[in-house]
Structures are given as C-alpha cells and as structure tokens.
Amino acid sequence: MTSLNHRQNGDSDSHPLLPHLHIHPDGESGRSGFDAKHFLQVAWRSSNIVSKYVNFLWPFVPIAIILHFVIPNHPLWVFAMSYVGMVPAANLLGFAGQEFARKMPKVSGILIETAFGSIVEIVLFVILIVKHKEGEESAEEGNLIPIIQAAILGSILANLLLCLGLCFFVGGLRQRVQTFHAAVSEVGTGLLLVAGFGLLIPSAFYSALKGSAVPIDIPGKHHHFTLPKLQKDVLELGRFTSILLIIAFFIFILYNAKSQHSIFDTVLEEDEHNDLDRHFDLTKPKLTFTECLIAIVLALVLVTVLAFLLVERIEAVVESGTPDQFLGLILLPLVEKAAEHLTAIDEAWDGQMNFALFHCLGPSIQTALFNAPLVVIVAWGLGKPMDLNFEIFMVALLVLSILVVGNFLRDQECNYLEGALLVIIYLIIAVAAWYYPDPDVATSNGVGLYSTGAANPVLLQAGY
C-alpha cells in the first residue's frame, strides 16, 4: 500500500493552511498559496475531457443572473438559463472536491468528495422547502413538497440506473468485462436496501390505513381514526424515521473511517494502480489547498444563486405543462448530479470500477440516509409538514431498482449489455413520470387531496 507523503520541504502545499496534514502523493501539487493564472488553467482543464467541454457552458451563468433582473416576466427563459448554468457550477464544485479529496487517504477522500457532490442537492432541497407554501394543492400554487419527494427518489434512481448504467456501458466499450470487489458492492447494496426499507415504511403505513380512516370525527360514532390523525401519525413517523436514518448514516461514516487502512483502502489503492490513464493523472497540474477552498466557496455561492433562480420559476414551469413528478423525478436530479455522473463515467472508462461504484452507490446512500432525512428535520424546524410519505408508485420503483442493481452486482462483473439495460429502465421510468398525474388530480399519499387550508374535495364530496 502506498504510504502517506511525509515530506517536510517548503515547496509542499501541506504547509500553508494545514501544517500538520501530510498530503497523499496523488494529490500533491508541489506549490502553495494561490496563483490566479494556474487556478484558471487547472479549473478549465477539469478532471476529464467531458468535464472540460462542460466548461463551455459557463456563459449561461451570468446570462441567467442578468435575465433574472432584465426580463423577470419571462420565467421560462430564466429557468432554462439557470438550469444549464447549474451544470458548470456543479462541475466546478465536484472538481474542487475531487482535488481536495486526492490529498487525503483514499477512503476519507471518497467520503469527502461524495459530501461535496451532495452539497448541490442539499442546497436545492433546502431552498425548495423554504419556498413551500403550506395549504396549497399543486406546485402551480406553491405546494413544493411533492416535487421535493420526487427529487429525493429521482436522485437515487439517477445514480443507480442512469449513472451506474452509463458506467457499465462506457467501461464495457473499452474493456469487454470489468470486475469490482465484493466489499464495495455488498456494503453498498446492503445499505441501499436498508435505506429503501426506511423510506418505504411511512408510505406503506399510510397506504395500509387510509381506507380505514374517516374524513372527520363524527360525534356519537366513537370513530376517532380520522384522516387528519392519520396524516399527523405519518408525519411523526417520518420524523422519527429520519432521525434513525441519519444515525445509520453516521454509523456508515464511522465504519468507513475505521476501515481507512483495511480492505477498502487496499481495494481503492489497487484501482488507482489499474487506472489506464494513471500516468497522465499523476503528471497533470493540480490545485493547492488554498485554490481548492476558493473554488469550493465560489462554486457553492454560484450553485446557491442558480438554485434560488430555479426554484423561483418552478411554479411557472409547471403552469407551462411540465408535470410535477417529471420535474422532480427527472429534471432536477439530472442537473444536481451532473458533476458526480461525469466523474463516475470517466473512472469507468479508465477501468476504475471500484471508484465508479463508490461514486454511484455513495451519493445514493447519502441521499437516502442523510439528505432526505435532513430536509424533513429542517422542515420540522420551519414548521412545515414535510414527511417521508412518498407516492407508493415512486417508492416501489425505488425498491425494485435497488433489487435489480443488487442482482447485477452479485457476480462482481459488468458489461455494456447490463449498462444498456439499466439506462433503458431509467428511460421507461422517465416516460412514466411524464404521464403520472399531478398530486391535485390523483395521489396515493394524500399530499394534494388532503392538504390543509384549501377546499378539500374529499370532504366536500362526503358532505362535510
């Protein structure tokens, strides 16, 4: 196993900000401080050729901000420009996180890189829940909880089906069969099954009991199991489940931290040496710690601004005819996960399937065990009724996808056929999401039909 770098010379970038931290040789830049010209050159070159081409989308960032002030009455244009501009901003955040992670031990670096990649998702979820208007029935009127719930599941599905499928497909084009270690796939799929189970319980609880609940408590009939009580119980169940899922996530982090010098580190070190482009990766210029932090802060500011512009225009996008579920399940996850997907696909092309699996399964685990529960906790603090009661159709897709992916990972081999099949499954789900009715038309979790503060169609039909 490659040892950590213990050089003590003044040229190393291990001295300026973190004097007691030794830089891993793969992330050593040989410089310190900040050099604007070098920073721009390295950031433009990015991590791979596809990410470099993504940088040509940077003009859309200032265009989106300008249009926000110049033509505020054209929300679709602002949404489109912000949507495209989010891709290079997220790419910069992902690249800076990757450069930062390279300076760390392998397992720690992967966890840090995954955390930086999920910042875009967390920012978007938090802005959505802050902008949510309680008491409305549809996204056109400000009810954003169905979109958040769809985006949570869509984020996991995009990683498991689209990203992993493209990794299998692209990697299979260069090498007929690629292999990966059982420790990576088994731990990942096991955690995803636990997460899927946790996300399924509130939805199954509501679906099983909603037929027994009456719209309101009828005096004299001693029937106190009403729809409002059921919704209150589901909300509390979702909050407690969120706390337990976050605890599970930190146990996962602790497990990986303790395994830093065990099998995971060994597997990833071997993957590094099997990299088909390893010589190029070791010789290309790298960012210093200072430059990494500047890039992370800059990208985070831009991502937050663009996410705000996106959320501001969601109501107009839904009014234009884009279904709620398609927007949440497909469109938002694609833009928020763009950087992670490009990184994973590049690693698969280079023959680093263990790294690619980490970048597909890791973000999915973080979304299910941390990001989604975190939004529920934040909403709880804001007094908004965000829960884990998903559309039963959507959560069923999630569980089935986890089972399909687990079956493909069981033999520890992959090829382009399996990759193509996973992508096709994702495309079928995208078509289904387009035709799935909005919550105010049909729902399995009561988000639209039983919203508070609006005229309740169920109660009106029942004569209450």
**Residue 414 vs residue 220, higher pLDDT:** 414
- Give the tens place of pLDDT for each residue, 70-116: 988 889 999 999 999 999 988 888 888 778 777 766 666 666 777 77
| Confidence bin at 375 (pLDDT 50/70/90) | very high
What average pLDDT does the chain have?
79
Q: Name residue 421's amino acid.
A: L
| pLDDT surpasses 60 at 30 | no
Q: How far apart are the first and last CA of the chain?
A: 71
Instruction: Please report, for residues 12, 28, 233, 421, the alpha-carbon distance to residue 283 in angstroms, rounded to integers and kept in the order given.
Output: 16, 10, 58, 37
Q: Is pLDDT at 200 greater than 80 in this prediction? A: yes
What burial class does residue 72 get, using C-beta atoms within 10 Å of its C-beta: 0-12 exposed, 13-18 middle, 19+ buried? exposed
Alpha-carbon distance of 13 to 7, in angstroms, equals: 10
- Whether 165 and 421 have beta carbons less than 8 Å apart is answered as yes
Distance, in Å, from the CA atom of 199 to the CA atom of 126, rounded to the nearest integer, reads: 19
Q: What's the pLDDT score for residue 175?
A: 83
Sign of CA dihedral 358, 249, 296, 161: positive
Least confident of 13-27, 119-133, 386-400, 406-420: 13-27
Nearest C-alpha neighbor of 320 from the set 139, 106, 122: 139
Model pTM score = 0.82
Distance of alpha carbon 95 from alpha carbon 52, whole angstroms: 10
Average pLDDT over every residue of 229-239? 90
CA pair distance 256, 262, nearest whole angstrom: 9
- Mean pLDDT within 119-141: 80
Most confident of 322-331, 346-355, 433-442: 322-331
For residue range 63-82, list pLDDT tens digits in order: 999 999 998 888 999 999 99
Confidence of residue 447 (pLDDT cuts 50, 70, 90): low
pLDDT of residue 427 exceeding 90, the answer is: yes
* Residues constituting the chain: 464
DSSP-assigned letter for residue 213: -
Q: Is residue 202's pLDDT more than 70? A: yes
Judge whether 191 and 369 are in contact, CB under 8 Å: yes
- The H helix count followed by the E strand count for the chain is 21, 2
